[in-house]
Amino acid sequence: MNEPEVRLGELLDAIAEGERSALEHLYSVTSAKLYGVVLRILRKPELAAEALPEVYLRVWRDALQYTPALLNAESWLVMHARRTALDLARQRAELGHDEMAESAAQAAETEEAEQDAAMSEELRHLLACLATLNADPRLMLLLAYFDGWSRAELAIEFDAPSPTIRTWMLRGLEQIRDCATT
3-class SS letters over 57-120: HHHHHHHHHCCCCCCCHHHHHHHHHHHHHHHHHHHHCCCCHHHHHHHHHHHHHHHHHHHCCCCC
Q: How confident is the model at residue 157 (pLDDT cuts 50, 70, 90)?
A: confident
| Cβ atoms 92, 47 nearer than 8 A | yes
Q: In terms of pLDDT, which residue wins out, 104 or 61?
A: 61
CATH number for position 167: 1.10.10.10
Same domain, yes or no: 12 and 29? yes
> Per residue in 29-68, pLDDT tens?
999 999 988 888 888 888 889 899 999 999 999 998 888 7
Same domain, yes or no: 63 and 105? no
**What is the average pLDDT value for the chain, to the nearest integer?**
79
Q: Is residue 152 pLDDT above 50, yes or no? A: yes
Domain containing 64: what range?
Answer: 5-92
pLDDT recorded at residue 128: 81
CA angle 64, 65, 71 (to 5 degrees): 125
| Cβ atoms 80, 58 nearer than 8 A | yes
pLDDT recorded at residue 123: 64
Q: In terms of pLDDT, which residue wins out, 89 or 114?
A: 89
Same domain, yes or no: 154 and 124? yes
- What's the domain count of the chain? 2
* Averaged pLDDT for residues 83-93: 78
> Per residue in 92-103, pLDDT tens?
654 455 555 555
Domain boundary among 92, 110, 141: 92
Domain boundary among 92, 127, 145: 92
Instruction: Please tell me the distance from the alpha carbon of residue 141 to that of residue 130, in angstroms, as a whole number.
Output: 9
Q: Is residue 84 pLDDT above 60, yes or no? A: yes
Same domain, yes or no: 87 and 103? no
Same domain, yes or no: 123 and 167? yes
Instruction: Please tell me the distance from the alpha carbon of residue 114 to that of residue 105, in angstroms, as a whole number.
Output: 14
Same domain, yes or no: 103 and 157? yes
* Averaged pLDDT for residues 4-14: 81
Same domain, yes or no: 85 and 110? no
pLDDT recorded at residue 112: 43
Same domain, yes or no: 84 and 147? no
Same domain, yes or no: 175 and 121? yes
Same domain, yes or no: 34 and 57? yes
Domain boundary among 92, 111, 146: 92
